Amino acid sequence: MTLTAGPQPTRGALPHWESVPADLPAAIREIKTALRARIEASGRSVEEVFAAAERRVAARVAEIEAAGGDVWPVVDYADIENGTVTPEQSARITARGCLVVRGHFPREQALGWDAGIVDYVEGNRFFENYTGPGDDFFGSVGSKPEIYPVYWSPAQMEARQSERMARVQSFLNSFWRHTSDDGVQWFDPDRDALYPDRIRRRPPGTDSAGLGTHCDPGTLDLWMTGAYQRAFRHLFDGTVEEYDPWDPAHRTSGPQYPGSTMCSAFRTFQGWTALSDMDHDQGVLHTVPIPEAMAYLMLRPLLPDVPEDDMCGVTVNQVFPASERWHPLLMRALTGIPDVRAGDSVWWHCDMIHSVAPVRDQRGWGNVMYIPAAPWCPRNEAYASSVREAFRTGSSPADFPEEHYERTWPDRFPAERLNATGRRGLGLD
């Protein structure tokens, strides 16, 4: 199947920088001026367009506040496998942009993977050689090591290339408009790139500072690169009501500004698979379950109360922050996941604001392996070449700090154990 990058940005439509501008404050001032002019050329003011986005988000916030604790959609893996997810459940996933898949893997299998990871790191003397967090973001959680820079364990690879994972990823990809009305196919919903990520192991009794509210699709490149300007075209051309957070158009091929917290791949959903039972009040994931909130985040810096050289705190080489100062309406909807058991998986739309709650004296383990849905597209195909090399050498993948603990570990997952799904996910077939 041939995928296309689609039509390219119109020359001269907006100032754009395909790599990080040398003078960030000047570029921010220039793009804000240009975006305001583009909006006002439609006959609407910036304030009117932002108000329309705000009304849409406010209606979702009101729904979430009225729902109390019953916010996160929950789907049984068996219903995904059997095609018996109801239209009502699908509509709820579309509205919330997140879900828990119960029984994605058998509980004993997940617990076995957890034990296997312990054997893997201890057998290779990881703790004796660990030199501390490789990035400032996850290094801020306050318990170490909580995020293990391990990518190629048998457990992780077995989960990534499993039929059950592929089935759930296809289900999640199907919520996106992967083919446009004009026939452009932006990604293949039934083939995922094998995106390697780390594991988290947080032991009982841990005090962890958690992670603040943020989102991960990019930073200043969301306003400044040509592809993203086209992806968010409805926010800036006076047609904000037509903005669809499930439309991937122009997001599957463009560049992304580099940084220690970047993701080179296009992910429809971020996700993790639980390797232990976790209660909802034990330092777990929270999200603002409103996919449309990206419109609010993107338009907010254009209002007059934000300094001209500021994008509400967004800059390069850091995550995209969400805060009470600039986004108080959104913070009202911040909602934690329900209790999960080992073998459940948790998923959230790639643009979604999320955080990890702090915890003191944690009860039980808090162990997960991060596996997203990253469908095959030009952007992910390009990243797969570096992933193949990292897999071959046991290196840390390009999106992550250069720690490379596994290069000399003899029992990392070998190439001969790749199945058809794993080979396709690495671009080998």
pLDDT tens digits, one per residue of 240-256: 999 999 999 999 987 88
CB count within 10 Å of CB 128 equals 7
Task: Tell me the mean pLDDT in the region 67-78.
Answer: 94
Tens digit of pLDDT for each residue in 279-329? 999 999 999 999 999 999 999 999 999 999 999 999 998 889 999 999 999
Give the rounded percent of residues in the chain with a pLDDT score beyond 90. 88
Task: Tell me the mean pLDDT in the region 354-360.
Answer: 95
Residue 159, pLDDT above cutoff 80: yes
Residue 6, pLDDT above cutoff 60: no
Task: Tell me the mean pLDDT in the region 113-138.
Answer: 86
Phi, psi of 9 (to 5 degrees): -60, 145
Per-residue pLDDT band for 11 (boundaries 50, 70, 90) equals: very low
Segment (H or E) for 235:
helix 233-236
Q: DSSP label at 7?
A: S
Task: Give bridge partners of residue 100 from the DSSP assignment.
Answer: 74, 346
Residue 261, pLDDT above cutoff 90: no
Classify the C-alpha dihedral 209-215-216-218 as positive or negative: negative
The pLDDT, as a whole number, for residue 136 is: 54
Distances (CA, A) of 310 to 32, 305, 354, 424: 9, 10, 22, 42
Residue 190, pLDDT above cutoff 80: yes
The pLDDT, as a whole number, for residue 255 is: 80
The pLDDT, as a whole number, for residue 13 is: 77
The pLDDT, as a whole number, for residue 253 is: 85
Write b or e for each residue in 325-343: b if 16 or more Cβ atoms lie within 10 A of its Cβ, otherwise e: ebbebbbebbbbbbebebb
The pLDDT, as a whole number, for residue 8 is: 41
On whether the pTM is more than 0.85, the answer is: yes
Range with lowest mean pLDDT among 127-136, 299-308, 417-426 = 127-136
CA distance linking residue 97 with residue 252, whole number of Å: 19
Tens digit of pLDDT for each residue in 20-29? 999 999 999 9
CB count within 10 Å of CB 408 equals 10
Strand order from edge to edge, sheet including 366-370? 74-76, 98-102, 345-349, 269-274, 366-370, 199-202, 147-148
Task: Report which of 273, 278, 275 is spatially closest to residue 339, judged by C-alpha positions.
Answer: 278
CA distance linking residue 94 with residue 244, whole number of Å: 11
The pLDDT, as a whole number, for residue 3 is: 59
Residue 1, pLDDT above cutoff 50: no
Task: Tell me the mean pLDDT in the region 155-165.
Answer: 98
The pLDDT, as a whole number, for residue 7 is: 43
Range with lowest mean pLDDT among 54-58, 131-135, 253-257 = 131-135
CA distance linking residue 103 with residue 49, whole number of Å: 43
Task: Give bridge partners of residue 255 from the DSSP assignment.
Answer: none
CA distance linking residue 184 with residue 6, whole number of Å: 6
